[in-house]
């Protein structure tokens, strides 16, 4: 088993996370303070690069969408899609920002409304502040983060399916070497940095999930959260996503994403109908208009000055480097779903659709929380300040019918969201850990178990030790160098296309793409004949029997 592993990329995250774990456990406060100071210095001096870079990613996708390049198909013109559009979108949503919208959907708009930065030029609590706050929430949770994922997904996916490259994040850089794999030592270091970033990213997200589920159990069942409760929750989640990962993409992740997406939609519709419907629609309409009209200004808000409150550094830039820490691995995961689809379809399903869902989600939950505050029904800001973001989402259901039932459903959604995220990431980094990943559908189970447990234990230790803020800062710092990796992917891919090398690829790799198409057709036939795989999961019950 060990002979199959890429030793250096695997050791880099293990060693670095081990060091951080020890320091964070021994001196969590000093560790967090040091990392925070470094993050502030980094974002103050170089955060503008992040803002510009992510805007370039969005522009890159718009260009590909409208240009004839958008019709290029992953796997060649004979490739046939494996996954239906619904499940493709559901997996993209749940593996992308599904965990975040559950945590921040009602919280962030309220926070920005009553504590906007001075440079925004709006009065706290005013209509202008509300619209500005909603637009900033849209920026953090819609097109920009998914653009980060899509840049990696498109560049890696084309290299993997159309140029016979390896299933690694560094495959997105082959355009810089005339389509050939880069130097082994360089790719090992790049992939190791990316693995380190994703381990920190998933561990940080899972850590917040433990806090939120703990608060939810306190609301519903009166169970006081603490180390024992967090440990039990962690064991259940780790076991769930490890088992799901072991079943493979076509079973575990597919089934979880399908169910999770439907519950997302059900909750959304319930709050929209039971809440202040007209207010939410009006708020969403005006906020979306402001967001679209001012997208560039919102994206490049840096608040230059001598003594500022560092608002864009702690919000805009923080979120973008946070997404960057996930970007290459989420993009690599989305590659698995892209076969037989065009670049334009990839952008539509993996950027436009989930981004619009995020906008609707924040409008509904954020609008509901704002309406409760502004109408005087409850002091939502006071509750948030006293109890924290992890308890806020559960609190708002106090003002809806079927409170306890909806809270239980929300607990299920939170759990499924984190299981789906960790499941997809565990499966992807496990395959990427192999020396020979080309054509490997699933990594060996022991490797999946190792990564699943490793990430889960890191998150649990930091939650119990009180160092969750430290790991949060670490994962965002790790995301900063990934900005330049993805920019190199984007530029290299554009040069490759403009030089017409994609036409060369159609000829040079024609035999490879044809063999892949035949293999995919054989796999589809085998799955269709396998009674253990229920395709009705994502074809809405259509009959899949052989004709």
Q: Which one has a higher pLDDT value, 315 or 452? A: 315
**CB burial readout 339-366, b (16+ within 10 A) else e:** bbbbbbbbbbbbbbbbbebbbbbbbbbb
Q: Tell me how crowded residue 499 is: count the other CB atoms within 10 A of its CB.
A: 11
Query: DSSP letter string over 351-386?
Result: IIHHHHHHHHHHHHHHHHHHHHHHTTS--HHHHHHH
545 — pLDDT class (breaks 50, 70, 90): very low
319 — pLDDT class (breaks 50, 70, 90): very high
Q: According to the model, what pLDDT value does residue 500 have?
A: 94
467 — pLDDT class (breaks 50, 70, 90): low
34-93 pLDDT, tens per residue? 888 999 999 999 999 999 999 999 999 999 999 999 999 999 999 999 888 998 998 888
Closest residue by Cα to residue 325 from 180, 444, 183, 169: 169
* Residue found under tokens 């510009």: 52
Is the pLDDT at 538 greater than 60? The verdict is no
531 — pLDDT class (breaks 50, 70, 90): low
Q: Which one has a higher pLDDT value, 28 or 190? A: 190
Please, are residues 246 and 448 in contact by the beta-carbon 8 Å criterion? yes
134 — pLDDT class (breaks 50, 70, 90): very high
1 — pLDDT class (breaks 50, 70, 90): low
Closest residue by Cα to residue 437 from 12, 83, 6, 73: 6
Q: According to the model, what pLDDT value does residue 132 have?
A: 97
Query: DSSP letter string over 317-356?
Result: HHHHHHHHHHHHHHHHHHHHHHTT-BHHHHHIIIIIHHHH
Q: What angle, 0 to 180 degrees and rounded to 10, lies between the N-to-C axes of helices 127-141 and 316-338?
A: 40
CA distance linking residue 440 with residue 493, whole number of Å? 25
SS (H, E, C) 196-250: HHHHHHHHHHHHHHHHHHHHHHHHHHCCCCCHHHHHHHHHHHHHHHHHHHHHCHH
Closest residue by Cα to residue 65 from 160, 147, 142, 179: 147
Q: According to the model, what pLDDT value does residue 298 have?
A: 97
CA distance linking residue 209 with residue 411, whole number of Å? 10
Q: Which one has a higher pLDDT value, 367 or 184? A: 367
Q: According to the model, what pLDDT value does residue 544 have?
A: 42
Is the pLDDT at 320 greater than 90? The verdict is yes
Please, are residues 10 and 433 in contact by the beta-carbon 8 Å criterion? yes
386-419 pLDDT, tens per residue? 888 878 888 999 999 999 899 899 888 888 887 8
Which residues touch 12 (CB under 8 Å, ≥6 apart)?
A: 189, 192, 193, 195, 196
Token reading at 106: 């009602």
Is the pLDDT at 546 greater than 50? The verdict is no
215-239 pLDDT, tens per residue? 778 877 888 888 898 889 888 888 8
Q: Please return the burial class of 453, using the count of CB atoms within 10 Å of its CB with bins 0-12, 13-18 and 19+.
A: middle
Is the pLDDT at 202 greater than 70? The verdict is yes
pTM above 0.85, yes or no: yes
Domains (range + CATH), the chain: 2-518 (1.20.1740)
Count of CA atoms in the C-beta half-sphere (13 A) of 161: 30
Q: According to the model, what pLDDT value does residue 547 have?
A: 34
How far lies 76's CA from each of 73, 339, 349, 497, 518, in Å? 5, 9, 19, 15, 12
Q: Which one has a higher pLDDT value, 537 or 353? A: 353
The listed range with the strongest mean pLDDT (95-109, 146-160, 458-472, 523-537) is 146-160
Which residues touch 483 (CB under 8 Å, ≥6 apart)?
A: 49, 50, 53, 321, 324
């Amino acid at each position: 088993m060990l002979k199959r592993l890429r030793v250096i990329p695997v050791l880099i995250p293990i060693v670095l996370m081990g060091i951080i774990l020890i320091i964070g456990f021994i001196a969590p406060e000093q560790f967090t303070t040091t990392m925070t100071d470094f993050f502030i210095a980094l974002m103050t001096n170089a955060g503008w690069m992040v803002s510009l870079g992510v805007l370039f990613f969005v522009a890159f996708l718009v260009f590909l969408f409208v240009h004839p390049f958008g019709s290029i198909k992953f796997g060649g013109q004979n490739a046939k899609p494996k996954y239906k559009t619904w499940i493709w979108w559901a997996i993209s949503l749940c593996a992308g920002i599904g965990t975040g919208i559950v945590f921040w959907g009602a919280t962030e708009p309220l926070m920005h409304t009553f504590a906007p930065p001075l440079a925004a030029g709006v009065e706290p609590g005013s209509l202008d502040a509300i619209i500005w706050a909603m637009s900033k929430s849209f920026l953090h949770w819609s097109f920009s983060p998914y653009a980060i994922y899509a840049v990696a997904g498109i560049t890696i996916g084309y290299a993997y399916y159309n140029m016979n490259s390896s299933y690694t994040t560094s495959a997105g850089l082959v355009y810089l070497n005339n389509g050939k794999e880069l130097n082994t030592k360089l790719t090992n270091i790049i992939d190791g940095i990316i693995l380190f970033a994703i381990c920190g990213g998933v561990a940080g997200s899972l850590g917040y999930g433990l806090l939120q589920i703990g608060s939810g159990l306190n609301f519903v069942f009166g169970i006081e959260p603490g180390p024992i409760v967090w440990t039990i929750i962690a064991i259940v989640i780790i076991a769930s996503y490890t088992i799901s990962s072991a079943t493979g993409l076509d079973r575990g992740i597919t089934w979880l994403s399908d169910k999770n997406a439907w519950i997302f939609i059900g909750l959304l519709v319930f709050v929209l109908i039971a809440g202040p419907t007209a207010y939410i629609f009006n708020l969403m309409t005006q906020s979306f208009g402001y967001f679209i009209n001012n997208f560039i200004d919102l994206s490049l808000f840096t608040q230059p000055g001598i003594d500022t409150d560092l608002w864009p550094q702690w919000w805009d830039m923080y979120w973008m480097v946070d997404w960057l820490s996930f970007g290459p691995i989420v993009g690599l995961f989305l590659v698995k779903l892209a076969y037989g689809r065009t670049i334009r379809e990839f952008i539509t399903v993996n950027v436009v659709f989930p981004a619009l869902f995020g906008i609707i989600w924040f409008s509904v939950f954020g609008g509901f929380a704002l309406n409760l505050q502004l109408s005087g029904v409850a002091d939502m800001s006071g509750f948030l300040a006293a109890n924290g973001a992890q308890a806020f989402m559960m609190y708002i259901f106090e003002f809806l019918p079927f409170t306890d039932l909806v809270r239980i459903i929300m607990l299920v959604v939170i759990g499924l969201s984190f299981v789906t995220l960790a499941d997809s990431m565990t499966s992807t980094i496990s395959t990427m850990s192999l020396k020979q990943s080309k054509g490997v559908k699933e990594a060996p189970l022991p490797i999946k178990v190792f990564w699943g447990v490793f990430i889960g234990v890191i998150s649990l230790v930091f939650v119990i030790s009180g160092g969750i803020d430290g790991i949060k800062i670490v994962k965002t710092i790790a995301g900063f160098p990934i900005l330049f990796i993805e920019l190199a992917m984007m530029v290299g891919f554009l040069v490759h296309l403009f030089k017409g090398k994609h036409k060369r690829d159609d000829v040079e790799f024609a035999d490879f793409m044809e063999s892949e198409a035949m293999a995919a057709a054989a796999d589809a036939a085998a799955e269709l004949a396998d009674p253990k795989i229920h395709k009705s999961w994502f074809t809405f019950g259509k009959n899949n029997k052989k004709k």
